[in-house]
Amino acid sequence: MRTQVVIIGAGPAGLLLSHLLAADGVESVVLETRSREYVLARIRAGILEHSSVELLTDVGLGERLARESMPHRGIYLHTPEQRTHLDFVDLVGHGIHVYGQTDLTRDLVDARVRGGQQLVYEVTGTALHDIDTARPYVTFVDADGAARRIDADVVVGCDGSFGPSRQAVPDPRTWERTYPYAWLGVLADVAPSTDELIYAWHPDGFAMHSMRSAAVSRLYLQVPPGTDIAEWSDDRIWTALAARLGHGRDGWTLTPGPITEKSVLPMRGFVAAPMRHGRLFLAGDAAHIVPPTGAKGLNLAIADVARLAPALGALLRGDGALAAAYSDTALARVWRCQHFSWWMTTMLHVTDDPFDAQLQLAQLRWVASSEAGARGLAENYTGLPLR
Ligand code: APR
Ligand code: PHB
């Protein structure tokens, strides 16, 4: 079998890339180890930057997004001293959208299926070959157990942090930070107790109130890494959330409800460079991981492929300049987001060092009271322009 671009991984990065390439007349095949059902059920992040929404809308993926996403003007920063609303629209001229990655993935899969895209699920043994040449190929075993080979002009690794693509880059440079805390995340069948997201600093640890819809809340608690979920009963979770999010302060209440999912997420920063080797390009989690506090993971994956798609289109038409620049330009945004995610994370998560706590509170007071401080957060949170 032969195609122009083999895309490894059907997460948001791989699916959106195949969509953007198709719009440019470039043919691709997407390979995915999991089943379609598994990919569509996976619970992930929920914030889309302003520029991500603009891009998705521009390329015909905005219909359900416009109908079902929740536009938010900003966020609340909460400490035991005060709750401050940061109005991003006032500060930088635009807000963000709350829209689950699950919903976006469904939109992308629907659009790809409508467009006749080849999405090959449940593959095993994905291996990359001859990426140093102009004729790379990928081998795998399909769901029926047949050995297959696809020849291509370009291979793109969108296979997340555990996929094989990154390993195919010889001698990559990597940077890693393991944060000394984790998140316990829950989904609950209860209307959100807040109109916009609450990011809370508390001596017991960070907490966040997010949402998926008018009837479903998403909440997080800072917990020690390696926490056993069995130690956290639903009651214990709601009690900790109430304390950290300020239940009872100034008449605000947190309404608990049935928890339908809980999991512990590690907090890690990671970057691998370069994001290109020969005819192999990396995008999304395959090249970088950010801790979730800045809500950047999904948006960074979108930003990568927004840059990569025109670069590949040009490369296949004989102009390699954008493709040559891809790794450096993508990494500049990756590091901006890595820094913002680190800044939000270290400002909001408690350590056992009381000096850290005072620095965090001083920083939070500055962001809450200074327009310059608030605007810096707003500019990064809503996302820098894609182009
Ligand atoms: N062959 C084919 N597919 C693979 C392989 C493989 N060997 N290994 C992994 N995959 C698939 C995974 O099953 C997954 O569906 O690659 C896909 C990678 O998707 P994501 O992990 O969603 O990564 P990405 O598309 O870069 O999206 C980034 O996802 O992890 C979140 O927080 C992150 O929101 C961000 C977004
Ligand atoms: C989420 O809704 O899952 C979410 C929102 C904001 C974050 C992280 C996760 O910073």
Nearest Cα residue to 307 out of 293, 292, 287, 290: 287
Strands 47-48 and 96-98: antiparallel
Cβ–Cβ under 8 Å, residues 183 and 220: yes
Check whether 359 has a pLDDT greater than 80: yes
Pocket test for ligand 2, best of 48, 52, 103, 208 (most atoms within 8 A of CB): 208
Nearest Cα residue to 333 out of 291, 375, 304: 304
For helices 297-316 and 12-23, the axis angle rounded to 10 degrees is: 30
What integer pLDDT is reported at residue 153 of this predicted model? 98
Check whether 148 has a pLDDT greater than 80: yes
- Write out pLDDT tens, residues 315-341: 999 999 999 999 999 999 999 999 999
| 217 Cα to the center of ligand 2, angstroms | 11
Q: What is the DSSP string of 287-314?
A: TEE--GGG--HHHHHHHHHHHHHHHHHH
What integer pLDDT is reported at residue 254 of this predicted model? 98
Average pLDDT rounded to a whole number, residues 253-260: 98
Reduced DSSP (H G I as helix, E B as strand, rest coil) percent helix, strand, coil of the chain, to 5: 40, 25, 35
Residue 295 CB less than 6 A away from ligand 2: yes
| 9 Cα to the center of ligand 1, angstroms | 5
Average pLDDT rounded to a whole number, residues 34-39: 95
What integer pLDDT is reported at residue 141 of this predicted model? 98
Q: Give percent of the chain with pLDDT exceeding 90.
A: 98
- Write out pLDDT tens, residues 270-320: 999 999 999 999 999 999 999 999 999 999 999 999 999 999 999 999 999
| 144 Cα to the center of ligand 2, angstroms | 38
For helices 50-58 and 297-316, the axis angle rounded to 10 degrees is: 40
Check whether 178 has a pLDDT greater than 90: yes
Average pLDDT rounded to a whole number, residues 244-269: 96
Q: Pick the ligand that lies closest to the CA of residue 49.
A: 2
Cα(67)–Cα(52) distance, integer angstroms: 16
What integer pLDDT is reported at residue 71 of this predicted model? 96
Check whether 127 has a pLDDT greater than 80: yes
272: β partners:
174
What integer pLDDT is reported at residue 43 of this predicted model? 81
Residue 46 CB less than 6 A away from ligand 2: yes
Cα(176)–Cα(288) distance, integer angstroms: 9
Instruction: Verify whether residue 381 is a known catalytic residue.
Output: yes
Cα(16)–Cα(340) distance, integer angstroms: 24
Q: Give percent of the chain with pLDDT exceeding 70.
A: 100
- Write out pLDDT tens, residues 208-248: 999 999 999 999 999 999 999 999 999 999 999 999 999 99
- Write out pLDDT tens, residues 58-85: 999 999 999 999 999 999 999 999 999 9
Nearest Cα residue to 202 out of 255, 239, 152: 239
| Rg of the chain taking only CA atoms, in angstroms | 21
pLDDT band at 151 (very low <50, low <70, confident <90, very high): very high
Q: CB-based contacts of 249: which residues, under 8 Å, 6+ apart?
A: 83
Q: Pick the ligand that lies closest to the CA of residue 297.
A: 1
What integer pLDDT is reported at residue 387 of this predicted model? 74
φ, ψ of residue 310 in degrees (nearest 5): -65, -30
pLDDT band at 106 (very low <50, low <70, confident <90, very high): very high
What integer pLDDT is reported at residue 194 of this predicted model? 98
Indicate the residue type of 246: G
Q: What is the DSSP string of 12-78?
A: HHHHHHHHHHHHTT--EEEE-SS-HHHHHH-----EE-HHHHHHHHHTT--HHHHHHSEEESEEEEE
Please state, in angstroms and as integers, the Cα–Cα distance from residue 249 to each residue in 81, 115, 221, following that order. Answer: 10, 51, 19
What integer pLDDT is reported at residue 343 of this predicted model? 98
Instruction: Verify whether residue 349 is a known catalytic residue.
Output: no
Residue 44 CB less than 6 A away from ligand 1: yes
Cβ–Cβ under 8 Å, residues 322 and 311: yes
For 305, the token pair is 């492929």
